[in-house]
Chains A and B, each alone.
Chain A
């Protein structure tokens, strides 16, 4: 597990070409509003994607996820957080990206995580983030947090990612972690050292990144993951 690297764009020529394409798309599609990031789930599409990629076992996990969503819709916030945290902590086996995806750092979508039944720390966080957003928790209150984690009493530290829930921006967040199954306040987690946080709210703040076909989105790991989620039918 490692921190995501911001990769630079391949080459100026390619960049210009992509920008040109994007510009064309923009010129044609000017005036299209940004896609809303709310509850925009498309179960049919998700089922099709899952069936195509992971077959019956994947589909079973997806159905369990749908059932979870159904169950938690009427539930309170605390229940939702706990249930969602437990759902993924139980169901997903922790593995390093390099073992799952054959590459150093791969940000999987919830569908991929569920389909495989295994995931890296950011895969847990992304899956929980998307699920909670799907349940109507405002995106602003959820933040993915890069943390430095001390494993056990050995003093070995590791790069890690958790999902934080903020009642208000200034408050002490509730931490949804896969290392420690129960949800606790951040300040109580002596083993975690927060470094930086992000969520998807800044990404759609402006007007220029609304297009799903925006090629620039692919160049950022986080946005690529969001892009794939949109394709698969999450957002």
Chain B
């Protein structure tokens, strides 16, 4: 039984008890009092009348007049004068006048009032006995009315009590349901905290649970920091803190192979010219500081553009990977400004030549680096601060103008989106879901995302495309019944209208929603945490799984995200690549998997190259793997 019902029942019983008691005591007290009063009145009036009669002549007329006068002017039911033998000499009687009181009530209280009796004296002789009964029907009425008032009062008191109880329960129930929700979250290993309610008992519980959550979060934070330290030692240059050459190149490779918007963008190479000379003049330590400053500047530049990756390729060369950045001229201008700022106010003049090249899906790392090297040499010869745009591999653009792109993309979206199916499998080879990057049919060919994504974001068609993808996914899942993983773009999750549309679509199809896996890149989630949080809050109740992809660099932030109820993480390929060979990588991944599991999050490895890597991932405790190593290629059909 619910709390409110129990309270209501208790109040009802208490009120009934109080009411019954009051009514009983009230009525019986009044009844006794009235009986007593009336009987006293009977006795006194009988004596008074008898006294008068004793003094008067006893002729019938006088007697009748006396009795009539008393009866007519008073409130009597009956006055009888009997002679000593019991014969009636004179009498007057009237009926009861109880009109407006229910009969059952009269029967219930029914007064029993003894009549007053007195003897009329005639000299020494007793002349007769006078019996007198007063009218007491008024008493029924007043008793009935007071009972009604009591009923009314208790009804009012009852109503107020019930209202009060309802209000109390309501004020208790809200924080209580919050507590319950928190407890459920903790059961799901989401260590949320909630504001402490005012009710003391509840507040203690909430504070204890908040403390637990905070303790767990701290623990997770420490753990992830340790893992991050390991990862940094493995992947990052210890002087500048940016990626080492191998790690950077593997990132580049992953970008080039990816199926989404990362697959095209810009790659830059920045060189600290004449490093040996600078080193000689500044000394080792200041040189390191200079390198560090340069790396930090580039890193900030990449972060500002979103998703930028910086790596130190050798002593003096830094690579800067800017996915999804396509306007080379603009980039050259901005990078030039930043590099110029770095060169200012130096004791020694330093040269920071740079080269830029655009890349696209299918480019080869070696070719890209070679053309950058060539361009950089040109830049070095031109001067300290020159930036050269290298000639990318010859690539024909599908369309020539914005308008052509726009109409082509709109047309393609209208005609239909094709979703590729790349399986994500668990240890037993069972399907977790299909990764399903979208393809659009442009110029009579199915084009991968890397081709059209830059134009989609340039033309701000992100949410339109994402909604179209969701629609296609819903259709696909309805048809095949297999779970699908869909990437959402950063622009979409910032778009409130998109989120509402998405929510409406998923609400309409709860069966589909629970098989849908939605993911966004880690860097995007961290970049715009507020949008991601609100997305999570909206979509969580619908049953779909939310996850992050390409998780690596920002793994330490996972502890901050644990209360969002993430369902899964896809660990970046750069940490997976060569896992079967590298003990350090194995340590990191094992730790990440453990941490994920302690939060109730699935850990999935991205970009496995071969079966050995996949096997190692499962051995380390990861829940799933994807990539060419286990991929059953699913070519787009015409």
Contacts and interface: CB of A to CB of B under 8 A. Distances in A.
A197 B33 contact: no
If over half of A's interface residues share one DSSP class (helix, strand or loop), that class is named, otherwise mixed; here it is mixed
Given A6-B44, A168-B84, A208-B36, A198 B29 contact: no
A26 B39 contact: no
B50 interface: yes
A19 B41 CA distance: 14
B113 A26 contact: no
A216 B32 contact: no
A51 to B, nearest CB: 36
Contacts of B39: 206, 208-209
A164 B44 CA distance: 22
A205 B32 contact: no
Interface string A178-198: 000000011100000011111
B36 A164 contact: no
A212 B84 CA distance: 30
B28 A172 contact: no
Contacts of A209: 39, 114
A23 interface: yes
B385 to A, nearest CB: 109
B55 A170 contact: no
B384 interface: no
A198 B36 contact: no
If over half of B's interface residues share one DSSP class (helix, strand or loop), that class is named, otherwise mixed; here it is helix
B47 interface: yes
Contact of A202 (B33, B54, B118, B126): B118
Contacts of A172: 124-125
Interface in B26-78: 28-33, 35-37, 39-40, 43-44, 46-47, 50-51, 54-55
Nearest to A170: B84
A48 interface: no
Contacts of A168: 84
Nearest to A201: B117
A26 B124 contact: no
Interface of B: 25, 28-33, 35-37, 39-40, 43-44, 46-47, 50-51, 54-55, 83-85, 112-119, 121, 123-126, 129
3 smallest A-B Cβ distances: which pairs? A206-B114, A186-B124, A23-B32
Interface of A: 6, 16, 19-20, 22-24, 26-27, 143, 145, 164, 166, 168-173, 175, 185-187, 194-198, 201-203, 205-209, 216
17 contacts: A22-B36, A23-B32, A23-B36, A24-B32, A27-B28, A143-B126, A168-B84, A169-B119, A169-B126, A172-B124, A185-B124, A187-B123, A202-B46, A202-B117, A206-B115, A208-B32, A208-B39
Given A168-B84, A206-B114, 12 more contacts: A19-B32, A23-B29, A170-B84, A195-B55, A195-B121, A202-B43, A202-B116, A205-B115, A205-B117, A207-B114, A208-B36, A216-B36
